[in-house]
């Protein structure tokens, strides 16, 4: 059945963008505001401009490409991100941005004018892997973090965000919030095992679980690994290991949907025969229920205090990200579901385990997400893969729903020019402009 959009061009662009920052052996590394991210941005902006979109960049580097509608006013926004983690795949985020581009180009190909503008958005630093917090660009876009504070954030490699943004020439001049969205759609891979395990085509995302990122710094005293009796040690390494193990116990103790991750753990001086004087580790806790997430955070704080006392080290913590669970607009979620089913696709509702820009846009307009299956439930892994047929399914849902939301301004005519897209007039004199 399908839609007016076709997956071939989208699949080719996913591969082409995946070449930017490609890792030997597969996967991609385009950490936010790196040179590779800059090159990826240049490629996507080039495609947007070639498609005739009006491209603007705001002060945090968010990119917006707009196809005009016949009526001025808020856009139907289709967005996601093109930055990746260091061992990322070619689909996470990129799929949503490039599918949005495909939708607007397919509208052109079909000669369809829309009432509302359609804007394709690529938000800065969604991953948060290099600069915390995650979903930073969309958070600034919706006014959840002021620009000055964001520009002064320092990365895990010691760089200032504003300097890195300028270094890749994406410190834009467009005012924040310049593009207002009437509705926001984000098409994304599930990044988990649910859809594949159930053989379901489309995930109808009801919301995003709460996220809590904490950086824990433990300070002890370095001394000789052999000559120092255990009773005299201030071993930051042992304390960090005990906390990391304790996170697993807390999470398993709460059970259910609770997840917790110690993704980064650095010891210094980090030598085989030196008791670590310093340890810095990150703890990522998530749960769909805010009260349960807070319970886990309280247990973590108690664990840190207990271990620090037992190992006679000092502990300090810094919150890197903290977002409460977000429920998407019920009516729009229902439209995702109805659109998918009308296309003959199977659906199931679920909450997103991963964070997404949609959870920020949801603060300002109805937002919803479309998920497609991840092979082996893998993401944030160079083996990330979603099958072409699944990508086509999600694109059909996105394209159909986006057109519904934007409203059709004309019957399909041949040869609509970019200049006339805003009026719905045709350049093809033979075309019969039928009332739509």
CB nearer to ligand HGY: give 162 or 353. 353
Residue 21 structure tokens: 């920052």
With CB under 6 A as the rule, give the number of residues binding ligand HGY.
6
User: Using CA atoms, how far apart are residues 317 and 166, in angstroms rounded to an integer?
Assistant: 30
Binding partner of 355, given Mn ion, ligand HGY, none, CB within 5-8 angstroms per partner class: ligand HGY
Contact positions with Mn ion (CB under 5 A) in 79-98: 92-93
Q: State which residue, 111 or 137, has the beta carbon closest to ligand HGY.
A: 137
User: CA separation (Å) from 8 to 16, 205, 307, 369?
Assistant: 12, 25, 55, 22
Is the preceding omega at residue 269 within 30 degrees of 0, hence cis?
A: yes
420 contacts: CB under 8 Å, gap ≥ 6: 113, 426, 427
What is the rounded distance in angstroms from the CA atom of residue 417 to the CA atom of residue 50?
13
> Site residues for Mn ion, window 359-418 (CB under 5 A)?
none
CB of 302 to Mn ion, least distance (A): 30
- Decide which of Mn ion, ligand HGY, none touches 93; Cβ closer than 5 to 8 Å per partner kind: Mn ion
How far is C-alpha 405 from the geometric centre of its chain's CA atoms?
22
Query: Considering beta carbons, is residue 92 or 390 the nearer one to ligand HGY?
Result: 92
Binding part of the chain for ligand HGY, among 103-111, 125-133, 234-242, 403-411 by CB under 6 A, reads 125-133
CB 230: neighbour CB atoms within 10 A? Answer: 7
The site partner of 128 among Mn ion, ligand HGY, none (C-beta below 5 to 8 Å per kind) is ligand HGY
Task: Report the residue number, 99 or 275, with the smaller CB distance to Mn ion.
Answer: 99
Residue 127 contacts ligand HGY per CB under 6 A: yes
- Footprint (CB under 6 A) of ligand HGY, residues 355-374: 355
CA 297 to chain centre: 24
End-to-end C-alpha distance for the chain, whole angstroms: 21
Per-position x/- string for 339-358, each x denoting binding to ligand HGY as judged by CB under 6 A, each - no binding: ---------------xx---
Residue 205 in contact with residue 350, Cβ under 8 Å? Answer: yes
Distance of CA 73 to the CA centre of its chain: 26
Tell me which residue has tokens 């990200």.
321
Binding-site member from 128, 288, 373, 424 for ligand HGY (CB under 6 A): 128
Q: Which residues bind ligand HGY (CB under 6 A)?
A: 126-128, 134, 354-355
């Amino acid at each position: 059945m399908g839609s007016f959009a076709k997956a071939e061009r989208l699949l080719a662009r996913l591969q082409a963008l995946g070449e930017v920052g490609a890792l030997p052996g597969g996967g991609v590394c385009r950490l936010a505001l790196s040179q590779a991210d800059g090159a990826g941005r240049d490629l996507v902006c080039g495609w947007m401009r070639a498609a005739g979109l009006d491209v603007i960049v705001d002060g945090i580097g968010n990119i917006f490409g707009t196809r005009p509608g016949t009526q001025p006013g808020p856009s139907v926004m289709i967005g996601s991100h093109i930055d990746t983690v260091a061992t990322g795949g070619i689909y996470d985020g990129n799929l949503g941005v490039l599918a949005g581009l495909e939708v607007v180009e397919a509208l052109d190909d079909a000669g369809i004018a829309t009432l509302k503008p359609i804007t394709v958005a690529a938000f800065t630093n969604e991953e948060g892997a290099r600069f915390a917090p995650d979903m930073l660009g969309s958070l600034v876009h919706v006014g959840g973090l002021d620009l000055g504070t964001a520009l002064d954030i320092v990365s895990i490699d010691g760089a200032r965000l504003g300097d890195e943004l300028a270094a890749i020439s994406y410190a834009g001049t467009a005012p924040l919030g310049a593009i207002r969205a009437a509705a926001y759609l984000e098409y994304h891979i599930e990044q988990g095992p649910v859809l594949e395990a159930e053989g379901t085509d489309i995930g109808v995302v009801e919301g995003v679980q709460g996220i809590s990122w904490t950086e824990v710094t433990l300070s002890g005293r370095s001394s000789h690994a052999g000559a120092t009796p255990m009773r005299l040690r201030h071993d930051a390494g042992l304390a960090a290991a005990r906390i990391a193990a304790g996170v697993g116990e807390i999470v398993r103790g709460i059970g259910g949907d609770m997840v917790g991750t110690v993704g980064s753990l650095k010891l210094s001086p980090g030598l085989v025969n030196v008791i670590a004087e310093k340890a810095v580790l990150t703890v990522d806790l998530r749960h769909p229920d805010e009260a349960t997430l807070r319970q886990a955070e309280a247990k973590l704080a108690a664990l840190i205090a207990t271990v620090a006392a037992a190992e006679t080290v000092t502990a300090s913590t810094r919150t890197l990200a903290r977002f409460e669970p977000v429920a998407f607009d019920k009516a729009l979620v229902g439209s995702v579901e109805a659109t998918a089913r009308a296309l003959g696709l199977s659906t199931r509702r679920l909450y997103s385990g991963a964070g997404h820009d949609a959870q920020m846009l949801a603060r300002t307009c109805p937002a919803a997400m479309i998920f497609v299956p991840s092979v082996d439930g893998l993401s944030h892994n160079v083996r990330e893969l979603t099958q072409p047929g699944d990508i086509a399914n999600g694109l059909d849902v996105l394209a159909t729903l986006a057109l519904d939301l934007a409203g059709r301004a004309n019957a399909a005519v041949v040869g609509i020019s970019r200049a006339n897209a805003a009026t719905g007039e045709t350049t093809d004199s033979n075309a019969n402009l039928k009332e739509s």
